[in-house]
Structure 1
Amino acid sequence: MRQADITAAVERTAVVVDEHYVFPDVAARLAALLTDNLAAGRYAAAPDPRTLGALVTADLQSLNGDLHLRLKHHEEELADRDRDPDDDRMVHLAASTMGGISRVARLDGNVGVLEIRPYLFPPQLAGDAMTAALRLLGGTDALLLDLRDNLGGSPDMVALVCGWLLDEPTLLHTMYDRTGEPVRQSWSAAWLPVPAYGAGKPIAVLTSARTFSGGEELAYNLQHLGLATVVGERTGGGAHPRIGFRAHPHLEVTVPVARPVHPVTGTNWEGTGVTPDVETPAAEALDVAHRAVLARLGTSPERAAA
């Protein structure tokens, strides 16, 4: 990379973070860190945008470990405007992954499985696919919600799934901006074109260290509203919604601009992840959760398989 391009990208990143990051005090420190590192020549030897992005991302995450705060490399050239370049990719991914509905199955004992990956796509992209899956699962006696390979997604889709599992509209979180003012509330969906799942049925959410962002929100909500047992591994710990800014034709500054606060815990999963109720390796979580919900149904794996 030319030094002029490196300087422009790092300076743009520093300004965007300083002006928009959800924690203003950390933002100022990060902007100063990038500026000092630029002057010290930390980035001067970056041979390409990918390497520069990795160097700057390491610095951005060095103070508080916010995994949503990045200088993200894109193979395709970004549009010459500030927008989320993931928008077009999400449309394609939703169409090519059946709206994120990776698996719908019925296990022994009439236990349903819903695997959602790679993302909880927005309802306008995947609402029909999701409600079709929920309709198929409506007659099961217990549910395993598999989020082990879920990398995030739409709070509105989280609200849709929660609406299917809750008996009435329920506050999921309040979003606060960098000034500390509440800017938005998220409630579970008040109505769906499928019957509600039914109160009291055993539900387990499967997680892994890869589970992130919107997948974590769904697991966190169901856990702390007392609807589900979380089985698996501690999740990645990314709670803050972010927006994207173009810093270079192939580099996007992703900046968290708000923080959700859950009404039960008074906090969120940022930096800590979702702690499983039953900790087990992700590869074993499905079997462990299946046995657990069968026990709650009063049967054994042997009887269920008979």
Structure 2
Amino acid sequence: MLAKSVSAYRSAVVALLAGCVAIPLAAQPAAPAPAAGAVPPASPAAAPATDPKTLPLEEGEGRAVALKLADELIKSFVFRDNAEDYAAMLRKNAAAGRYDKGTRGELATMMTDDLLAVHKDGHLHVMLAPPPERAGAAEAPQRRGPPPGWPPLIQAAKTIAPGIGYIRFTAFMGTDEEVAAVRKWLAENANAKTLIFDLRNHHGGGLDEQDAIFSYLFAKPTPLVKMAVAKDLFDRGDSPLASGPTLKFEAQGDKMVATHTAIPGADTPLRTAKVYLLVSNKSGSAAEHFALALKSSGRATLIGEATAGANHFGGGQPLNEHFGVWMPVGRTYDIKTGKDWEGDGVAPDIAADPRQALVVALEKAGLSHDEAVKLDAQEVPGEPVHRDKLRAR
């Protein structure tokens, strides 16, 4: 039974590449998100009648999950010293009976809070695995897509004003449809003088969309950022990253390190277009990778506020049939300084209220203030573009 549950877990938990999507516990889908055009379940009756978060823990389950998590952290977490601190806390709490009572949802929340009280991390959290697949469900994993309730992956893609292309993302999920839509927008705006990328409520994701964009923006192969994982983790096949055309891993001591490189595509005027990137404290994970890559290379001007500060990339791992952990296994960092953005975020070039960032970008692109305000009013992001940090995890 565990093998089937693990399969369902892996297809539902999006293990993406660059920084990854950190899906809050409350937003965890109860089943894999359907790909665009997929046939939905035959009837609502196929869904479980009980919310998995409300189910009581089985005897000894909480303690077993804590001990398994401690072992997995030692095995895989990005920083060994931090992993040992986490593991010591979990083992101590398990022995004291802290995880013996309550519901599964309460345990996931409690254990996450305990971890982050030891060391903050923008991605690490315990979550509920999806329930077993219903009878007759296809065994092949579905293509990754947004969890239920999210806005479309691309909320807007247009020529917002003559010579100005504008695109607003929810995440980089790497679906065929999203990558194709990005390429279509770039082709339609190939002669634009200015491009505006709006990542103010971007949840994170992978490299596919980024690589498509970079192929238009750079005239020659350009190193962007570095990404590193432990060599033993890479060698045993547990890295969410592998070498590819834009990412080449090489051994450096006990690490495998790759340079993410922009590879030019066809020559278009976009190689010299002005580029503005809108960011906020909700721009997380792969959005921060994208921001650092463009800022460090000098290819874009960032407008808004410091990003979310969620750096360490990784993916979902099962702990048992009912629980999993989003495990950070590597870090992305600036080629020039060696620093990453965990906890601090990527700072903007032009500090602005993120709610006014599009107005600022449009004015920088040559529009009058009144024109910019009018166009901004027509663009309504699918989610808030700023959050109160006191209420953020």
Shorter-chain TM-score tier: 0.7 to 0.9
Gapped runs of 5+ residues in structure 1?
80-86
Residue 15 of structure 1 and its aligned partner are, at CA, apart by 0.8
Change (3 A) 1:287 1:55: same
Give the CA deviation at 1:103.
0.6
- 1:102 maps to what in 2? 155
Deviations 1:145-199 (A, max 9, x none): 00012100112332222222111121222222236423433222343xx654523
Shift of 1:63: 3.1
Conservation of the 8 A alpha-carbon contact between 1:22 and 1:177: yes
Question: Could you tell me how far 1:257 is from its partner in structure 2?
Answer: 1.1
CA separation in 1, counterparts of 2:271 and 2:115? 44
Alignment length (residue pairs): 287
**Can you list the C-alpha shifts for 1:173-227, whole angstroms capped at 9, x where unaligned?**
2222236423433222343xx6545233221111121111111111111111111
> Are the structure 2 counterparts of residues 125 and 184 from structure 1 closer, same or farther at C-alpha, using a change threshold of 3 Å?
farther
How does the TM-score come out when normalised to structure 1? 0.84
Query: 1:1-306 counterparts in 2 under 5 A?
Result: 1-45=57-101, 47-74=102-129, 76-77=130-131, 88=142, 90-91=144-145, 100-117=153-170, 119-122=171-174, 124=176, 126-178=178-230, 180-191=254-265, 195-294=267-366, 300-301=368-369
Residue 113 of structure 1, CA deviation: 0.7
Matched residue type, 2:200 = R
1:34 Cα deviation (Å)? Answer: 0.7
- Secondary structure at 2:122 match in 1: coil
Distance 1:172 1:125 in 2: 25
Q: When the two structures are superposed, what TM-score results if normalisation uses the length of structure 2?
A: 0.67
CA contact (8 A) 1:207 1:282 kept: yes
Q: Is the 8 A contact 2:280 2:305 kept in 1?
A: yes
Give yes or no for contact 2:173–2:205 (8 Å, CA) kept in 1. yes
| Aligned amino acid, residue 226 of structure 1 | G
The structure with more helix, counted as a fraction of residues:
1
Give the superposition deviation at 1:97: 6.8
Question: In 1, are the aligned partners of 2:312 and 2:332 still within 8 Å (CA)?
Answer: yes
* 303 and 61 in structure 1: CA distance in 2 versus 1, 3 angstrom threshold: closer
Question: Root-mean-square deviation (CA), in Å?
Answer: 2.6
Equivalent residues of 1:158, 1:217 under 8 A apart: no
- In structure 2, distance between residues paired with 1:147 and 1:182: 29
Amino acid in structure 1 at the alignment position of 2:364: A
- Conservation of the 8 A alpha-carbon contact between 1:165 and 1:199: yes
Q: The residue matched to 1:248 in structure 2 has which SS?
A: coil
Partner-residue secondary structure (3-state), 2:63: helix
**SS of aligned partner of 2:272:** coil
Which residue of structure 2 aligns with residue 82 of structure 1? Answer: none
Note if contact 1:23-1:178 (Cα within 8 Å) is conserved in structure 2: no
Instruction: Give structure 2 stretches of 5+ with no counterpart.
Output: 1-56, 134-140, 232-253, 375-393
2:118 counterpart SS class: coil
SS of 1:3's equivalent in the other structure is: coil
Q: What is the one-letter code of the residue matched to 2:255?
A: E
Partner residue in 1 for 2:386: none
